[in-house]
Chain A
Amino acid sequence: MTTLTYPFSEVDVRALKAGDAVSVNGLIRTGRDRFHKFFADGGKLPCDFRDGALFHCGPVVVKNPDGSWRVVAGGPTTSVRENPYEPAFIEQTGVRLIIGKGGMDARTLDACAKCGAVYLQAVGGAAAVTAHAITRVTNVYFLEEFGAAEACWEFEVKDFRCVVAMDSHGTSLFAQVEAASNRRFRELLAK
């Protein structure tokens, strides 16, 4: 298990290999469909993603009596929908960790290699565990514009466990697993 703590350095991120288990700590921010669309349309980001983490997540967040926020459920959402936008986001912001589920395309893999970023797979459906790893909600952007599920939430996380699914050396675990399982599938059909 490799521990990563914000700010995430290029050296640390480039040392990661597909298949490594990681524990993410410190500041991460969410962004999904509307956030990516806003960015692609030339919108100005309200915060600096350099050496940061972007989490594809639409959390269920409730307001505490004292006005602070609490995350009730917060698993990853499917990442492929952001494929058209992610390479530019990585190149222009200097983000180091993309966290989601299901993986992303070859262009995103190329951007990871070029800029020194990785794609981390969080466990799909593990809403309670993810909520548990989020120790504090430190800020929120675009709450009015995008709504709670699509806003850019800023979280403090502790021991948020993920697996490196796409590294900065051009390796995608998803592509490897699919190619291997396809070989086995063909083998079984030949029987």
Chain B
Amino acid sequence: MTKTVTRLAELIHETSSSLPDDAEKALRAALRREAKDSSARLVLETILKNVALARAAGTPVCQDTGTLTFFVSENLRRTVTPERIAAAVAAATERGWLRRNTNDAVTGKSIDSNVCPGAPVIHYTLDAESKVRLIMKGGGSENMSMQFSLPDASLGAGRDLEGVRRAVLAAVQHAQGYGCAPGILGVCIGGDRAAGFEESKHQLLRNLADTNPVPALAKLERRILREANSFGIGPMGLGGKTTLLAVKIGARPRVPASFFVTVAYLCWAARRREISW
């Protein structure tokens, strides 16, 4: 294995087994909010114990090691190549850091190496930050992601930020706890349908404690988070004060005819890492 492949395989191992600090901190803050002897507390205690056990043993935080999506700075294109990323995924799978988790969509057959055209997902991003970012997102949470086309009469949602708010709250109500709450929402306003999902996932890479540089979006993030947490859905949907840990909103340009709001739901097992290369 080349040095680059080894380094990428280690990134995968760390992402799979060790939740980022900000996510763990948000879960601890959630635990403090929940009432004594509540099921919300029991769920959060179990989650935090799980995080500690997985990190100590270097084993997957969740058995569904998910879809691997890499975001690689454009200037690394010649070093962090798709071939090397694929080799790292195959090596990580071989070592048990990833579950055999890829199936051919037509035949249903398992692709044991987790590597084939389309897997893992790789995006080269237009920045010169020299970073490799990885997110591992499980199927249970992916099933809860949604896309809205505004205007939406049933929600009273027009083509403005108030319409975005309504659509995102509808996604929260739809998801309940089924995506393994408390979750994190990555939202994209605009784009075509494909760009919407790409950008909404890209938003999930943000530190949970950061502030959106666009003041109007920062305000909307805070409002939706507060309102979603008043739904009472709670950890794993059993009721409680913490339904979401964070809401992160980005935007992509759109054509005049389309106005999409895309919501990517990430479970509490928010496995993401970035390394500077």
Contacts and interface: CB of A to CB of B under 8 A. Distances in A.
B140 A124 contact: yes
Nearest to B53: A128
A181 B173 contact: yes
B46 A126 contact: yes
B230 A184 contact: yes
B63 A75 contact: yes
A189 interface: yes
B237 A60 contact: no
B227 A188 contact: yes
Contact of A188 (B64, B140, B169): B169
B204 interface: no
Contacts of B230: 184, 188
B177 interface: yes
A61 B140 CA distance: 21
B176 to A, nearest CB: 6
A97 B227 CA distance: 35
A190 to B, nearest CB: 9
B180 A128 contact: no
B253 interface: no
A80 to B, nearest CB: 9
Contacts of B234: 177
Contacts of B232: 177, 180-181, 184
A34 to B, nearest CB: 13
Nearest to A126: B50
A21 B37 contact: yes
Contacts of B42: 21, 161, 163
Interface string B26-69: 00000000000101001100110110011001011111100000
Interface residues of A, number: 38
B170 A163 contact: no
B167 to A, nearest CB: 11
Contacts of A123: 43, 46-47, 50, 236
A127 B50 contact: yes
Contacts of A36: none
Nearest to B224: A188
Contacts, number: 129
Given A78-B140, A180-B232, A188-B169, A165 B61 contact: no
Given A182-B173, A189-B166, A125 B61 contact: yes
Contacts of B172: 185
A126 B48 CA distance: 9
A168 to B, nearest CB: 18
B53 A132 contact: yes
A47 B119 CA distance: 40
A101 interface: yes
Contact of B61 (A128, A163, A182, A185): A128
A59 B99 CA distance: 11
Interface in A45-99: 58-60, 72-75, 78
A184 B46 CA distance: 28
Interface string B168-189: 0110110011101000000000
Interface in A171-186: 173-174, 176-178, 180-182, 184-185
B15 to A, nearest CB: 15
A72 B98 CA distance: 12
A126 B47 contact: yes
A58 B64 CA distance: 10
A128 B47 CA distance: 9
A182 B231 CA distance: 8
A72 B59 contact: yes
B236 A101 contact: yes
B54 A127 contact: yes
A6 B64 CA distance: 29
Interface in A144-189: 161, 163, 165, 173-174, 176-178, 180-182, 184-185, 188-189
A129 B238 contact: no
B267 interface: yes
Sorted nearest first, the 7 A-B pairs with minimum C-beta distance are A128-B53, A125-B62, A181-B231, A73-B63, A126-B50, A127-B63, A129-B50
7 contacts: A19-B39, A125-B47, A126-B50, A127-B54, A180-B231, A185-B172, A188-B227
Given A121-B236, A125-B47, A185-B172, 4 more contacts: A102-B237, A126-B50, A161-B42, A185-B173
